[in-house]
A and B are shown apart, each in its own frame.
Chain A
Amino acid sequence: MVKLEISPDWNRLGNTQGVIIMKMNKMYHILFLTVFLLFVSVLSSEAAVDIQCPCDMNGDGDCEDVVSGQYDEPALQDSLGVTCLHLGGGDGFAIMADGRPQYIFGFSNLTGIPSANVMEAGILAAHWPAPAIAVNQGEEFYLSLTNVGMLIRPDLFDPHTVHFHGFPQSSTVFDGLPESGISISMGATLTYYYNLVGPGTYMYHCHVEATEHMQMGMLGNLYVRAAQSWLGAPGVPAGDLAECNAPGDQFAGPCGYVYNDQDGSTAYDLEYPLQLGGFDPDFHDASWTVQPLPFAMMWDRYPMINGRGYPDTVNTGPMPQPMDGGEDLNGAVNSQVEHSLITAAPGDRILLRLSNLNITVTHTLISPSIPMTVVGIDAKELRSTANESLHYTTNSITIGGGMAADVILDTTGIPAGTYYLYAANLEYLSNLDEDFGGIMTEIRIQ
């Protein structure tokens, strides 16, 4: 049932000792899954998937309108000022731009899945990066996290958390820092509550054994849209968030405003969250093959934007499945759904919600042809205490790990064509041995 073989990938990497990788065929997979589910189910007689969402009537983690009889009604969330989301924390696989599979820990979006089916849906379903979270200022955000366990590493009993990185005035119970708070064990659910008062670009990640779980991929985009986007301000028209991904739309106003600027100076027509990250393949392989983890030797050689290295960043179609010896490691799950191709019409103001969750590198992003106007950093608009704008225009921006920046590219007067956005620390324009890739994406003006 269990095939033992020498992985050619390891030899290609110069591992001459020949590391034995245990691979499981599909039959074994199913058996293993069954045992794993049984194991999780008996972890605790009380452990249960318990999704908390104030407008959820049928236990699937989203809102229902009991008056109208409409079920699973996302629009209801807006009217109630409530947003609910249900994430699973577990494991899975991703594929790198050179075709190499990487074992990952990650989050999956389980919203709308009945609680009885959550474990089955969440196992081996980790996404890279974690599902992007866009929420609105003024809402109450109920974020449930179910630990679905790690199928490939049943020896691990790791709990998980969500750290809403940058959340202002946070508490310990909802900070997701395991050292000072609580984290959720396998088979159970912890619901975080956030009163969203500060607009801007944040990020989220698991903080359990942070160096390991973050290197393994439990990282994602998270941003809070400003209320001015739908309320407007004196002399500033409201935007229309439905237009945020429609290049060259006919709507006269903007999609939204990054901040409640009161003067319209942070207006944008298109919105792209771009999160920088990186994988160290030795670390991921060591985790996959149950080897000691190389913390000290950690060296990120797969630099990525939103979980992909160039040219995959501009691939708007589905990514190929991570394969190993003819086996689809992810089953049916497509784990890397976010591309980073930026498409705009001349005159569009493109908002880049930049964040860096690489855990070894401070990155400088450069846009050589289209000037960048930096309007905010770390979810704070650049304003003086006298309310003077401190926005500035540049062609590069440096963001360390755990930093975010709101950058607007004004395409007025920019001729149609393809432009580039890339890491100015040029060694990160690579996908391991491939020397043209990594942190780069395209801006297509058409």
Chain B
Amino acid sequence: MFAVTLSAMLVVLTGSNVFARAWIDGISGTSFAFTAGAGEVSTPDGNSIHFWGYHAPGSNPAGVPQYPGPTLILQEDVPVTITLTSALPFGQCTSIVFPGHIVTATGGRPGVLARESCGTSAAETVEYTFTPTEPGTYTYYSGTQMELQVEMGLVGTIIVRPGVPEQAYNHADTYFDHEYLFMLTSMAPAIHQLANMGKFDQIDMSTRWPVYWFINGRGAPDDLAEPFVGYLPHQPYNCTPRMTPGQRILVRIIGGDQDQHPLHLHGNHFYEIARDGRMLASNPPTSGPDLKRGHVTALSVPGQTVDAIFEWTGENLGWDIYGTPADNRPAHNCIDVAPADGYADADSDYPMEWCGDHNKPLPVALPENQDLAFGGWWSGSPFMGDLGDLPPGEGGLNPFGGFFFMWHSHAEKELTNFDIFPGGMMSMMVVEPPGTPIDSGTAIP
């Protein structure tokens, strides 16, 4: 309780002046030296799965192949070069394709979709060069025996930033306060076991039966841990979206495997503003994303990327999310003068509160604690920023009294780690009380 109180005090002390933007972790630059190799992915049920992944200098602290591959943060119109050497077991050849970009390749050997590397010698190094001319979210993956190699883990993300980095595209309506990645993948361990033993002739992709599902390479709840933790050396990336009321989250969603994973965001509608790195616009970029689509579930299609803007204020809930004296919560103000937009001004007690619901008590009485079951992210109170009494051992994952919402695959079978619920393709987004510091994302160690 002391830690909780201290955290709450920190919020009060630091006030709303603290603002740091959460960025997606990755490596930036114009030249990347990729190596494809093998490793072991950890799953939350204690299993480990042999996988193939890319790594590049500085992409993860252990310097090992990673799942998914390094997220490349590129600049619009700045040419990049990516070299690839294959350190895959059994002398397997590999390559990379970059959908959405015009790529030239040299070195290595001719392949079906792209030039390939079949070893670690200099002669086996392929060099891919392209200029990302359009901002947005892209993916890259193996172009060699891709039905197997993507399953094995050879897939990654490319983010192309426009001149204004806090915009997704070259229009102010694509502004975001924080951005988070949802690279959606799955694994069928039987295939990985055969690949580990080199029994490629026994692999039958038509009988693929995935039992693990991942966001950014981790199954829940591992995706809620910090990024770059030492106990997940091959899985550097996490997925912990956070915001405060009124902020805008850019959600970059990628269908990274061969299946569809309808990604449902609890909390509010979101707006798809782009697909495959192209704004949904009648006249891009001038018009902005005027053809954006409101959704509660993104139909994540294999190979497709979706950029979505999510906002939350609690508007029109019909009760005051900060509580009222009738709810035994302290009185607070809701000043809506400049701008008079219905939301509390910055000098209000709770900026961005929807003043239309101000001072309306909770309309129903909640059952007694003995009639309820509690989630770990339940603060004990329906009110934002409040911590209620809970029985011993309950709650504890919500020190600021935020509103947590699950962002998950609505193919609910995928909320499991090989027969164990809960887990899999699931993350918890939190709307923290105004002024709560949001992690700025972890710099590459």
Contacts and interface: CB of A to CB of B under 8 A. Distances in A.
A189 B372 CA distance: 9
Given A175-B266, A180-B375, A183-B373, A400 B422 contact: no
Interface string B355-388: 0000000111111101111111110001000000
B428 interface: yes
Contacts of A361: 411
B405 interface: yes
B395 to A, nearest CB: 10
A294 B215 CA distance: 23
A401 B294 contact: no
Interface of A: 44, 46-47, 50, 52, 140, 142, 159, 165-166, 168-173, 175, 177-185, 187-195, 197, 208-212, 214-215, 294-296, 298, 359-362, 377-380, 382, 384-386, 390, 398-404
Interface residues of B, number: 65
Contact of B367 (A184, A211, A402, A404): A184
Nearest to A401: B410
B296 interface: yes
B418 interface: yes
Interface string B76-92: 00000000000000000
A194 B364 CA distance: 11
Given A172-B404, A189-B367, A211 B412 contact: yes
A340 B168 CA distance: 44
Which interface residue of A165, A180, A403 has the most chain B CB atoms within 10 A? A180
Contact of B313 (A169, A181, A188, A384): A169
B367 A169 contact: no
Nearest to B424: A211
B291 interface: yes
A177 B406 contact: yes
Interface of B: 211, 260, 262, 264, 266-269, 282, 288-297, 299-300, 312-319, 321, 362-368, 370-378, 382, 398, 403-406, 409-413, 415-416, 418-422, 428
Which interface residue of A169, A359, A362 has the most chain B CB atoms within 10 A? A169
Contacts of A191: 364-365
A428 B411 CA distance: 16
Contacts of A188: 367, 371-372
25 contacts: A46-B368, A159-B373, A168-B268, A168-B316, A170-B268, A171-B382, A171-B403, A172-B378, A180-B375, A180-B406, A183-B373, A188-B372, A190-B372, A193-B318, A193-B362, A195-B316, A195-B319, A209-B422, A210-B422, A378-B297, A380-B295, A382-B293, A385-B289, A401-B409, A403-B297
Give the interface SS of chain B, mostly helix, strand, loop or mixed: loop
Contacts of A362: 260, 262, 299, 411
Contacts of B372: 159, 182-185, 188, 190
A44 B410 contact: no
A390 B291 contact: yes
A378 B268 CA distance: 11
Given A171-B317, A177-B406, A402-B410, 16 more contacts: A46-B368, A52-B365, A140-B318, A159-B373, A169-B267, A169-B317, A173-B362, A178-B373, A180-B404, A188-B371, A193-B318, A208-B373, A210-B412, A215-B413, A403-B296, A403-B410
Nearest to B315: A169
A179 B299 contact: no
Contacts of B266: 170, 175, 177
Contacts of B368: 46
B251 to A, nearest CB: 15
B292 A385 contact: yes
Contacts of B362: 173, 193
B162 to A, nearest CB: 20
A184 B371 contact: yes
A227 to B, nearest CB: 14
Contact of A165 (B296, B364, B370): B296
A204 to B, nearest CB: 13
B184 to A, nearest CB: 12
A169 B375 contact: no
A402 B296 contact: yes
A177 B362 CA distance: 18
Would you list the 6 A-B pairs with minimal beta carbon distance, nearest first?
A402-B410, A195-B318, A400-B262, A380-B294, A173-B382, A188-B371
A294 B371 contact: no
Given A175-B405, A180-B428, A378-B294, A295 B317 contact: no
Contacts of A214: 412
Contacts of A50: 367
A312 B428 CA distance: 40
Contacts of A197: 316
A190 B366 contact: yes
Contacts of A184: 367, 371-373
A379 B422 CA distance: 28
Given A179-B375, A384-B291, A398-B299, A46 B418 contact: no
Contacts of B405: 170, 172, 175, 177, 180
A140 B318 CA distance: 8
B299 A168 contact: no
Contacts of B315: 169
A169 B382 contact: no
Given A169-B313, A171-B382, A180 B377 contact: yes
B269 A179 contact: no
A403 B411 CA distance: 11
Contacts of A210: 412, 415, 421-422
A400 B297 contact: yes
A380 B413 CA distance: 27
A182 B365 contact: no
Contacts of A359: 410-413
Given A171-B403, A180-B428, A185 B294 contact: no
A182 B363 CA distance: 16
Contacts of A170: 266-268, 317, 405
B351 to A, nearest CB: 17
A403 B268 contact: no
Contact of B375 (A178, A192, A360): A178
Contacts of A298: 413
A178 B404 CA distance: 11
Contacts of B412: 210-211, 214-215, 359, 401
Contacts of B410: 359, 400-403
Nearest to A177: B406
